[in-house]
């Protein structure tokens, strides 16, 4: 049983616990292998590999987008503690304002597809994502 299944912390509590474990040397931080795909004036796609046994916390997306599980099996928990298992191949729409903790039971490969006219990846990331739910909520109310 992995940490997502043992407890139902908020995503922010889970993120802090992961950061503490990395700082203490109990966990190792990984950098995902991400590839970016751009169709100028139309689409942006992000393809990410997550190794088996890794847990990641997604960004908060400001707009809905298509998510494709290309490979693997993962447990996905949202901010409300709702958990579901994803078995690739699977396609679904991720709504705006959702952040998830994802545990990769096997190596997992994800593809997200976004409507986007921008072509600079750094600008795209700022336009489409937030790092936390607090940042997302502040954007909704214009703070």
For helices 133-140 and 11-24, angle between their N-to-C axes, nearest 10 degrees: 140
Question: 67 pLDDT band (50/70/90 cuts)?
Answer: very high
Average pLDDT over residues 67-83: 89
Q: What is the pLDDT of residue 25?
A: 72
- Structure tokens given for 84: 């579901």
Average pLDDT over residues 104-127: 89
Which comes out higher in pLDDT, residue 15 or 1? Answer: 15
Nearest to 58 by CA among 45, 83, 77: 77
Which is it for the CA torsion 59, 61, 64, 66, positive or negative?
negative
Nearest to 78 by CA among 54, 92, 94: 94
Burial 67-85 (b: 16+ CB within 10 A, else e): bbbeebbbbbbebeeeeee
**Contacts (Cβ under 8 Å, ≥6 apart) of 32:** 48, 49, 50, 56
Q: What is the pLDDT of residue 143?
A: 45
Which comes out higher in pLDDT, residue 35 or 133? Answer: 35
**Mean pLDDT, the chain, whole residue set:** 81
**Contacts (Cβ under 8 Å, ≥6 apart) of 79:** 10, 11, 98, 99, 100, 133
Query: How many Å apart are CA 110 and CA 115, to the nearest integer?
Result: 17
Average pLDDT over residues 32-43: 87
Residue 137 pLDDT > 50? yes
Query: How many Å apart are CA 52 and CA 128, to the nearest integer?
Result: 27
Q: What is the pLDDT of residue 41?
A: 85
Global confidence as pTM: 0.74
- Structure tokens given for 107: 């190596």
């Amino acid at each position: 049983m992995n940490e997502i299944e043992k407890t139902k912390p908020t995503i922010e509590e889970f993120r802090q616990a992961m950061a503490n474990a990395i700082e203490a040397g109990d966990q190792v931080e990984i950098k995902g292998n991400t590839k970016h795909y751009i169709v100028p004036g139309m689409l942006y796609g992000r393809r990410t590999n997550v190794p088996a046994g890794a847990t990641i916390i997604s960004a908060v997306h400001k707009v809905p987008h298509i998510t494709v599980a290309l490979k693997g099996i993962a447990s996905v928990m949202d901010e409300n503690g709702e958990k579901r298992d994803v078995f690739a191949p699977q396609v679904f729409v991720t709504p705006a304002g959702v952040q998830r903790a994802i545990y990769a039971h096997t190596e997992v490969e994800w593809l997200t597809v976004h409507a986007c006219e921008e072509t600079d990846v750094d600008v795209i990331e700022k336009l489409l994502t937030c790092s936390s739910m607090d940042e997302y909520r502040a954007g909704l109310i214009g703070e």
